[in-house]
Structure 1
Amino acid sequence: MKSSRLLSILLLLQTRGTMTAARLAEELEVSVRTVYRDVEALHAAGVPLYGDAGHRGGYRLLAGHRSRLTDLYAREAEALVLAGLPVAADELGLGGHFADAQLKLRAALPVPLREHVDRLRTRFHIDAPGWYAEETEAPFLSGVAEALRTGRVLAVRYRRWKEPSEVDRRLEPYGLVLKAGRWYLVAGPGPRTYRVDQILDLTLTEEEARIPEGFDLAAHWRASQADFHARLHQGDALVRISPRGAARLTGAAARALAENGTPEPDGWTRATLPVESPEHAHGFLLGLGEEVEVLAPEELRERIAATARTLAQRYG
């Protein structure tokens, strides 16, 4: 939508200062010619927008000019409200600042849009952890967040799963990630990932943290998650599964069924499912009970059959 793009140009120049037509085109994913036309439209609308020629040139707004939030569209206002649900702000110790920002945003909106987002806010609530997840306390979360805000090194006492179970670490914080209700710190050297709720003690040092140039937290997290899942599923199991059993599959197993499942005349589906290990596969597939039949590997089939015979004798 052209009007939305014009507002985007104004906001980009307002927040970043001088920008070339080529840079604006790259940000907006349009052609340079489209940017030229949009700038002409802004000029015609009386926006104090100027262009400077030369190597260091580009478009800029007259000093002191600010666009108003009254130009927000309903969908954009909705996105701001929903993106600002106070789930993470409270945990990071920013609840009060979040409330102040919400009040300022609300006051800047025109009355009809303000009433709309007020209704919308009462219709959405985020409860991030899963149903069976235990609530975890992370008493040093605000300290980690402060280190990130100020760019300082952390000295922590950390609890891990292998011996020695408690270790001292010097960490250069690169970013915080909230996943399934649990906070993770990505930090150097490495970088490596640490559960914030496993930090037993924390000292904020005066040493400056150095984040590698070009480090992208979101890209790093996606890559580490992909690597984790690749290492997680080390084997496969060929199965026949009923419609009821198929409905109970989740994650990688559900995706594999959808991608390679072959329907059979009796309504069941034959598919190769990824499994983490023989022990995990044994428990996972037994949990599906009579809704699944393991065809291969033979060792897994025999192990499940032996367990079924034991259960039959025990409950016979």
Structure 2
Amino acid sequence: MSKADNMLSILWLLRSGKRVTAQQLADNLEIHVRTVYRCIDSLCASGAPIIADSGPNGGYRLLGEFVDSPLLFDNEEQKALVHASIFAREAGYPFTDALTRAVDKLKRYTNEEQLEWINRHSSGLAVIQTPTDSRELELLQRLEEAAARGESLHMDYAKGPELSPGNRVIDPYGIVHWKGIWYMVGFCRLRQEIRNFRVDRIVRLEATDTRFERPAVFSARDFLLRSLLPESLDAETLVMVRLHGHEHALNELCKHWLFGHALIERKQPGEALFKLGELSLKTYVPYFLLPYGRSLKILEPQMLINRMAEVSLEMFKHYEAMQIKIEDKKG
């Protein structure tokens, strides 16, 4: 048997709760006693609470609570773990290799019927996601570990593809995956405030000798959401937006990252009420609504209707100019 098989077998034998000597374990498994010692050392290193009692009645035993803990998963639990690994891998989870090894172990210790069942269910699930490159995976691993250990990092960060990276020291509080992009939320010692950074724009990370304590009550997820949707969460700038249209179009709009968080009420038939920042209505909201065309109708406010007319006219002029250039070249 492989070392992993021997280690699992030893755990099963120790689950009886009785003290078992190394020689008894070796005899049961038909392996050398030195192999038993090596396997027990590996089990202890991996966190298994094995206690060695000396004396005439001594031997190895497991801590009481661990004896009662389940070491096997039922079919539904196995399926859920495999499906979760698929989602995590496609999202660019930074510890994908370790996750793959864990799922491989899960499959290794199932019988043929269970393995076939798992494979049938895992082959029926797919996730479409922009792949995360190896460099970004390494950055995510470094950030997650620094956040867990409270280690500050030197960071070279480029705000845009054409901008030169700037250096700063950051205290990483956590990493967040949102809408296909990984973000790091942490305290920026250059700006002396908590900020969020896109991981794909990080050029370099380097360790420092500085340590930090993350605030006791802090959610990187909530902070990122508030920073990306500042106006929609600012009561002083909220404007009521009432839309009417086909139910399918409204359903799709409510899945949008901005409108989904700004939804106040869905009225039947075919009407929805949102609260959005005034500045956003003048900038990017009209462009979010353009793809829906005539399937949606703005009932209020008038300022959004006016802005949609302006944006539509700008788009018309843009493509009209392109069409004229193409016709001139043909002529």
Superposition RMSD on alpha carbons, in Å? 4.2
Q: Is the 8 A contact 1:173 1:209 kept in 2?
A: no
**Alignment partner, residue 32 of structure 2:** none
Q: Which runs of 5 or more residues in structure 2 are unaligned? A: 1-14, 16-61, 324-331
Q: Is the 8 A contact 1:261 1:271 kept in 2?
A: yes
Q: Is the 8 A contact 1:69 1:109 kept in 2?
A: no
Alignment counterpart, residue 196 of structure 2, candidates 193, 198, 204: 193
**CA deviation vs aligned residue, 1:230-287 (integer Å, no higher than 9, x gap):** 6247433334424564355233546877824353xxxxx4544444322334334444
Q: Which runs of 5 or more residues in structure 1 are unaligned? A: 1-13, 15-59, 264-268
Q: Does 1:259 align with 2:265?
A: yes
- 2:132 and 2:66 mapped to 1: Cα distance? 51
Q: Does 1:75 align with 2:79?
A: no
**CA deviation vs aligned residue, 1:172-209 (integer Å, no higher than 9, x gap):** 22222222332211223544322111112211224334
Alignment counterpart, residue 92 of structure 1, candidates 80, 91, 94: 94
**Alignment partner, residue 173 of structure 1:** 172
Q: TM-score, normalised by structure 1?
A: 0.59
Q: Is the 8 A contact 2:153 2:169 kept in 1?
A: yes
**CA deviation vs aligned residue, 1:78-133 (integer Å, no higher than 9, x gap):** 222222336179762551x333322322233455433322332222233334xxx9
Alignment counterpart, residue 65 of structure 1, candidates 50, 64, 67: 67
- 1:94 and 1:175 mapped to 2: Cα distance? 18
Q: Say which SS state the counterpart of residue 182 (structure 2) adopts.
A: strand
- 2:288 and 2:90 mapped to 1: Cα distance? 33
Q: Does 1:208 align with 2:207?
A: no
**Alignment partner, residue 158 of structure 2:** 159
Letter in 2 for 1:195: R
Q: TM-score, normalised by structure 2?
A: 0.57
- 2:264 and 2:239 mapped to 1: Cα distance? 18
- 2:68 and 2:243 mapped to 1: Cα distance? 63
- 1:182 and 1:167 mapped to 2: Cα distance? 21
- 1:114 and 1:64 mapped to 2: Cα distance? 26
Q: Does 1:238 align with 2:242?
A: yes
* Distance change >3 Å, CA 89–CA 147, structure 1 → 2: farther
Percent identity of equivalent pairs = 22
Q: Is the 8 A contact 1:69 1:108 kept in 2?
A: no
Letter in 2 for 1:178: H
Q: Say which SS state the counterpart of residue 69 (structure 1) adopts.
A: coil
